[in-house]
């Protein structure tokens, strides 16, 4: 069974990283949007491991960044953002009842799952301010054990994560923002590439589950493009998450199937 980890939103989410000056996050709206997202995953047959919120870590809802699944292996990452590093503890304790043995990144290595895109059995990893060379080397080490390849991709300055601007919603399908990422970075790793318009670059972050594709609401050109490409889309409003630089993939961490 497909399974994923999700985490509730703390009241401290109002202090999440990445907000533009003057932004005000409404935790009630964020929770409503998060619930709809979680319900969509559940409806699509995803078995959910729900981790309670942690008030001391405002960004803890973005579980994708702390958990990287590579084949049968699960890596719990260290964060280059000091306020996010403590997120691991609650995740580790929630996972203790599972049939998994997560490996924690060694000290000095940092990575965010938002920088890790799976295309077939290749991990495309963005070199960002959140993913350092030691983090990348550790992911490569685990990937090699699992028989996976790793490809490093440099990111344009100011890009938080690789997956802010790309995703793989269905096997062989790359959705990306050509205004931010070069298609050549992914060469040989996809069958079909769908470029989203520059004014909807954020919409390149999608989640594919059970033949359906979650797409951010309010991005009509992308929704039309993906629909025309034959993808069966489900619109999800994540506007409150976007205020904290969050997108769709970051609210779940897919684990090896049970
Ligand atoms: C941060 O800056 O870490 C959070 N405010 C946003 C993290 C988004 N994560 C993701 O897209 N994977």
**Burial degree of 234 (CB within 10 A; 0-12, 13-18, 19+):** middle
Q: Dump pLDDT digits (tens) for 153-177.
A: 999 999 999 999 999 999 999 999 9
Q: Locate tokens 């999700």: which residue? A: 6
At 227, which CATH number?
A: 3.75.10.10
Neighbour tally for 79: CB within 10 Å: 21
pLDDT of residue 185: 97
**Is 161 a known active-site residue?**
yes
Q: Total domain count for the chain?
A: 1
62 lines ligand 1 (CB under 6 A): yes
Helix (H, G, I), strand (E, B) or coil at 6: strand
Q: Locate tokens 């077939």: which residue? A: 120
pLDDT of residue 155: 95
pLDDT of residue 238: 97
Q: What is the DSSP string of 16-75?
A: -TTPPTT----HHHHHHHHHHHHHHHHHTT-EEEEEPP-TT-TTTT-GGGTEEEETTEEE
What angle (nearest 5°) sits at the alpha carbon of residue 198, between those of residues 193 and 202?
Answer: 80
Residue ranges of the chain with per-residue pLDDT less than 70: none
Owning domain of residue 110: 3-255
Protein residue closest via CA to atom 8 of ligand 1: 246
14 lines ligand 1 (CB under 6 A): no
CA–CA distance, 18 with 39 (Å, rounded to integer): 26
pLDDT of residue 158: 92
Q: Locate tokens 């579980």: which residue? A: 63
Protein residue closest via CA to atom 12 of ligand 1: 114
Average pLDDT, the chain: 97
pLDDT of residue 193: 98
| pTM beyond cutoff 0.85 | yes
245 lines ligand 1 (CB under 6 A): yes
What angle (nearest 5°) sits at the alpha carbon of residue 247, between those of residues 246 and 251?
Answer: 85
**Is 166 a known active-site residue?**
no
Catalytic residue among 34, 161, 164, 166: 161
**Burial degree of 253 (CB within 10 A; 0-12, 13-18, 19+):** buried
């Amino acid at each position: 069974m497909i399974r994923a980890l999700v985490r509730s939103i703390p009241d401290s989410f109002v202090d999440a990283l990445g907000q533009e000056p003057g932004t005000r996050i409404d935790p009630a709206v964020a929770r409503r949007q998060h619930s709809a997202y979680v319900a969509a995953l559940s409806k699509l047959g995803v078995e959910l491991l729900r981790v309670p919120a942690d008030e001391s870590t405002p960004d803890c809802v973005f579980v994708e960044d702390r958990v990287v699944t590579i084949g049968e292996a699960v890596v719990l990452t260290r964060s280059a953002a000091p306020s996010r590093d403590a997120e691991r503890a609650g995740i580790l304790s929630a996972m203790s009842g599972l049939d998994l043995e997560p490996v924690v990144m060694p000290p000095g290595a940092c990575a965010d799952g938002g920088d890790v895109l799976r295309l077939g059995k290749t991990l495309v990893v963005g070199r960002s301010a959140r993913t350092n060379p030691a983090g990348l080397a550790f992911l490569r080490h685990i990937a090699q054990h699992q028989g996976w390849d790793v490809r490093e991709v440099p990111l344009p300055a100011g890009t938080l994560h690789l997956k802010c601007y790309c995703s793989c919603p269905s096997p062989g399908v790359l959705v990306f923002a050509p205004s931010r990422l070069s298609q050549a970075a992914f060469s040989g790793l996809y069958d079909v590439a769908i470029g989203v318009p520059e004014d909807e670059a954020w919409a390149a972050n999608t989640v594919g589950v059970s033949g359906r594709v979650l797409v951010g609401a309010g991005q009509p050109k992308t929704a039309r493009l993906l629909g025309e490409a034959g993808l069966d889309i489900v619109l999800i409003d994540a506007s409150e998450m976007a205020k904290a630089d969050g997108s769709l993939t970051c609210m779940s961490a897919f684990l090896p199937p049970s």
